[in-house]
C-alpha cells in the first residue's frame, strides 16, 4: 500500500519537508515497480536519486543544524553517513550484477529510515531550526547553489513517456530541486496540444512512446514556428546503442540520455538546457 505524506511527518521547514516527500515518493515508486518488467531500471534510477538525496538533503539539514547550534549534530551526521553507505553498497552491488538488487532489497531499509530517522531523529532538530533566521537562510542558500544558476522553480517541463513508473521517478527528481510545473503526457497528440497550448520551457521525451516515436515529435517541433522550433529538448532511450545519440541529435534533440538515468546526470543535463533557453 502507498505511503501517504502527513503533517505528522513535518519537521516544520518546507524545503526539508519537500526532500522528505521526495523520499516517500521514491519508496512508493519502488513498491509499485515490484514485478514490473522495468523493475531493474526503476531500482537503478532510485539508487541514483538516493545518492543525490544523501548528498543534498543531508548537507542541507546539517548546515541548518550547524547554523542553529543544534547539540545533536554529531550523532545525526553519523546516522546520515550510515544511510549513504548503505546506498553506496547497494549501488555497487547493482553495478557488478544488476539482477542482484531487487526493489524489495531497497524497500526494507528505506521504510526503516522513514520511521526511525525522518519521523523520529529528524524531529529532534525541529525546535532548534524552525524560526531560526540563520538556519532558515542557510537551507535556502543551498537550494540556489544546487541549481547551477538555473531558476528551477520557474521552469515548466513537459514529459512525454508512456511508462508511468519512470514518469514518477522523473517527477520526484524534478520536484527535489523545486520544479513544480511538470506536465506528463503519454502520446504524441497530447504532447503536441500541450506544446501549443502551454508555455513549456523544456521538453523531455522518451524515444518510444507506445507505438509512436519521440523522434517524430522532435522533427515536428523543429519544423514548426518559433519559439516552439527552438524549444530545448532532451531525448531519452532505453536502448543502449551509441548510434542512438547521433540519430536523436540529427532529428533535432539538444541532449540525449540513456535509461536508467541518474538524478545527478539528469540535473546537469537540464541545467545545460535551461542555460541555453
Ligand atoms: Fe531528513
Ligand atoms: Fe536527518
Q: Are 164 and 77 in the same domain?
A: no
What's the pLDDT at 259? 73
Ligand 1 centroid to Cα of residue 61, in Å, is 7
DSSP sequence for 2-28: PPPP-GGG--S-HHHHHHHHHHHHHHH
* Residue 162 clears pLDDT 70, i.e. is over it: yes
Q: Are 115 and 202 in the same domain?
A: no
| In a domain? residue 270 | yes
Residue with grid cell 524545503, as numbered in its chain: 15
Ligand 1 centroid to Cα of residue 147, in Å, is 20
Ligand 2 centroid to Cα of residue 13, in Å, is 13
Ligand 1 centroid to Cα of residue 131, in Å, is 17
Ligand 2 centroid to Cα of residue 7, in Å, is 17
What's the pLDDT at 176? 67
Ligand 2 centroid to Cα of residue 6, in Å, is 18
Q: Are 61 and 135 in the same domain?
A: yes
Domain that holds residue 182: 152-276
Q: Are 96 and 157 in the same domain?
A: no
Ligand 2 centroid to Cα of residue 177, in Å, is 18
Q: Are 140 and 156 in the same domain?
A: no
Of 119-128, 154-163, 165-174, the least confident: 165-174
Ligand 1 centroid to Cα of residue 245, in Å, is 37
Any idea what the CATH number is for the domain that residue 34 is in?
1.20.120.50
pTM check: above 0.85: no
Q: For 245-275, how does the pLDDT look when each residue is reduced to its tens digit (9 = 90+)?
A: 888 998 999 999 887 676 667 888 888 898 8
What's the pLDDT at 255? 93
Q: Are 49 and 123 in the same domain?
A: yes
Confidence band (pLDDT; 50, 70, 90) for 227? confident
| In a domain? residue 115 | yes
Share of the chain above pLDDT 90, in %: 44
Q: Are 42 and 101 in the same domain?
A: yes
Any idea what the CATH number is for the domain that residue 213 is in?
3.40.50.2300
Average pLDDT, the chain: 87
Ligand 1 centroid to Cα of residue 22, in Å, is 11
Q: What is the mean pLDDT of residues 236-240?
A: 72
Ligand 1 centroid to Cα of residue 27, in Å, is 15
Q: Are 90 and 12 in the same domain?
A: yes
**Contact criterion met (CB below 8 Å) for 139 and 15:** yes
Ligand 2 centroid to Cα of residue 82, in Å, is 11
* Residue 218 clears pLDDT 90, i.e. is over it: yes
Domain ends where: 146, 173, 188?
146
Ligand 1 centroid to Cα of residue 16, in Å, is 7
What's the pLDDT at 20? 86
Looking at the CA of 13, which ligand is closest? Answer: 1
| In a domain? residue 3 | no
DSSP 159: E
Looking at the CA of 73, which ligand is closest? Answer: 2
Domain count of the fold of the chain = 2
Instruction: Compare 18 and 93 and report the one with higher pLDDT.
Output: 93
Ligand 2 centroid to Cα of residue 122, in Å, is 5
Q: Are 220 and 168 in the same domain?
A: yes
What's the pLDDT at 6? 84
What's the pLDDT at 41? 80
Ligand 2 centroid to Cα of residue 150, in Å, is 27
Ligand 2 centroid to Cα of residue 118, in Å, is 6
**Biggest alpha carbon–alpha carbon distance for the chain:** 60
Listed in sequence order, the residues at least 6 apart from 231 whose beta carbon sits closer than 8 Å to its beta carbon are 195, 200, 201, 202, 203, 221, 277
| In a domain? residue 1 | no
Q: Are 69 and 167 in the same domain?
A: no
* Residue 150 clears pLDDT 80, i.e. is over it: no
| In a domain? residue 186 | yes
Q: For 128-147, how does the pLDDT look when each residue is reduced to its tens digit (9 = 90+)?
A: 999 899 998 887 776 666 55
Domain ends where: 146, 165, 186?
146
CB atoms within 10 A of CB 89: 11
| In a domain? residue 60 | yes
Q: What is the mean pLDDT of residues 169-180?
A: 77
What's the pLDDT at 260? 64
Q: For 1-28, how does the pLDDT look when each residue is reduced to its tens digit (9 = 90+)?
A: 778 878 889 999 877 887 888 788 788 8
Instruction: Compare 188 and 7 and report the one with higher pLDDT.
Output: 188
What's the pLDDT at 63? 94
Indicate the helix (H) or strand (E) that contains 209.
Answer: strand 208-209
Ligand 1 centroid to Cα of residue 41, in Å, is 26
What's the pLDDT at 239? 59
Indicate the helix (H) or strand (E) that contains 138.
Answer: helix 133-146
Q: Are 130 and 163 in the same domain?
A: no
Ligand 1 centroid to Cα of residue 241, in Å, is 38
Using only the alpha carbons of the chain, give its radius of gyration.
Answer: 20
Ligand 1 centroid to Cα of residue 270, in Å, is 25
Domain ends where: 124, 146, 168?
146
Amino acid at each position: 500500500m502507498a505511503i501517504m505524506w502527513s503533517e505528522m511527518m513535518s519537521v516544520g521547514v518546507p524545503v526539508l519537508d519537500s526532500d522528505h516527500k521526495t523520499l516517500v515518493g521514491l519508496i512508493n515508486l519502488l513498491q509499485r515497480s515490484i514485478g514490473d518488467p522495468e523493475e531493474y531500471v526503476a531500482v537503478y534510477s532510485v539508487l541514483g536519486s538516493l545518492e543525490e538525496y544523501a548528498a543534498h538533503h543531508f548537507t542541507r539539514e546539517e548546515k541548518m543544524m550547524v547554523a542553529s547550534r543544534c547539540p545533536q549534530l554529531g550523532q545525526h551526521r553519523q546516522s546520515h553517513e550510515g544511510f549513504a553507505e548503505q546506498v553506496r553498497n547497494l549501488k555497487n552491488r547493482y553495478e557488478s550484477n544488476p539482477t542482484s538488487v531487487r526493489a524489495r532489497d531497497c524497500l526494507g531499509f528505506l521504510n526503516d529510515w522513514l520511521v526511525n530517522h525522518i519521523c523520529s531523529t529528524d524531529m529532534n532538530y525541529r525546535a532548534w531550526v524552525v524560526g531560526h533566521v540563520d538556519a532558515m537562510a542557510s537551507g535556502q542558500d543551498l537550494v540556489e547553489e544546487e541549481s547551477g544558476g538555473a531558476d528551477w522553480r520557474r521552469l515548466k517541463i513537459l514529459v512525454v513517456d508512456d511508462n508511468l513508473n519512470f514518469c514518477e521517478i522523473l517527477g520526484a527528481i524534478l520536484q527535489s530541486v523545486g520544479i513544480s510545473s511538470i506536465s506528463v503526457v503519454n502520446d504524441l497528440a497530447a504532447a503536441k496540444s500541450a506544446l501549443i497550448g502551454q508555455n513549456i520551457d523544456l521538453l523531455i521525451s522518451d524515444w518510444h512512446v507506445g507505438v509512436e516515436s519521440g523522434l517524430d515529435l522532435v522533427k515536428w517541433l523543429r519544423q514548426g514556428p518559433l519559439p516552439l522550433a527552438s524549444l530545448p529538448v532532451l531525448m531519452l532511450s532505453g536502448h543502449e546503442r551509441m548510434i542512438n545519440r547521433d540519430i536523436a541529435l540529427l532529428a533535432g534533440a539538444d541532449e540525449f540520455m540513456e535509461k536508467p538515468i541518474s538524478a545527478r546526470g539528469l540535473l546537469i543535463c537540464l541545467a545545460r538546457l535551461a542555460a541555453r533557453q
